[in-house]
Structure 1
């Protein structure tokens, strides 16, 4: 991102933080002096999370957000979104397709301009990143 834009950012939540990600994203934007009004930033955050929850890993019956595959969401003052995400395994058969699914889902959020998704593998994903909801979906409870 360009240094001329303030951004709102939050790492993907641990299972205990999953429900607080929206508040964290809004707080990060406010702390950095985001030009986006707090109520709009909150709406964008909620809508982005809702969009991420529509994207499912085809091998696991849970969405990518609850699986903990989203490592970072940045929203700049121009309402461009950068997302760092990972996969459950580097050799995932949909590795080439899933970033496009995420771009399309988040790009459909009203007010969002450009979405860029980067696949990262550091730190590697582990099942401990899953929320309780995802753990229930995969039968771990």
Structure 2
């Protein structure tokens, strides 16, 4: 079963063109407008965005996780992603994929995210 999953993942990870890489960079910047409702920090600096891919130059696939699989706020985050990226004009559509492996951990938070959390009184 793992071999099948690895093969499927490899086929999904197509090489991106320079134009697509530029779109991915821009989409990541727009994703900084998506704020985790529980922590008040953007999902990029929290390390919740695992991958962004462009398909056919028109569709963005965003692999994202949550701080907890039991998080009840997936709808809120999905709406924010659609508003931030979908309305940017970079791509025609955005597909959000929830992934749980590897599980999210505090080690995934960027230094900027850590500074923001410390400013809010968290110890990270």
- What's the TM-score, normalizing by structure 2? 0.76
Aligned: 1:41 with 2:20: yes
Alignment of 1:28-107 (within 5 A): 28-29=15-16, 34=17, 38=18, 40-107=19-86
Deviations 1:17-75 (A, max 9, x none): xxxxxxxxxxx52xxxx3xxx2x435422320111000111121310011010111110
Q: Is 1:84–1:120's contact at 8 Å kept on the other side of the alignment?
A: yes
Q: 1:112 aligns with which of 81, 91, 100?
A: 91
The runs of 4+ residues in structure 1 deviating greater than 2 Å are 6-9, 40-43
SS at match of 1:125: coil
Structure 1 or 2: more helix by fraction:
2
Deviation at 1:76, TM superposition (A): 1.6
Q: CA separation of 1:121/1:78 partners in 2, compared to 1, >3 Å: closer, same or farther?
A: same
Number of residue pairs matched? Answer: 110
Task: For residue 7 of structure 1, report the CA deviation from its aligned partner.
Answer: 7.6
Contact 2:31 2:44 survives alignment (8 Å): yes
Gaps of 5+ in 1: 1-5, 10-27
1:138 to 106, 117, 121: 117
Please, which runs of 5 or more residues in structure 2 have no aligned partner? 1-10
What CA distance in whole angstroms lies between the structure 2 residues aligned with 1:136 and 1:61? 13
Task: Tell me how large the CA RMSD over aligned residues is.
Answer: 2.2
In 1, Cα distance between equivalents of 2:25 and 2:68: 27
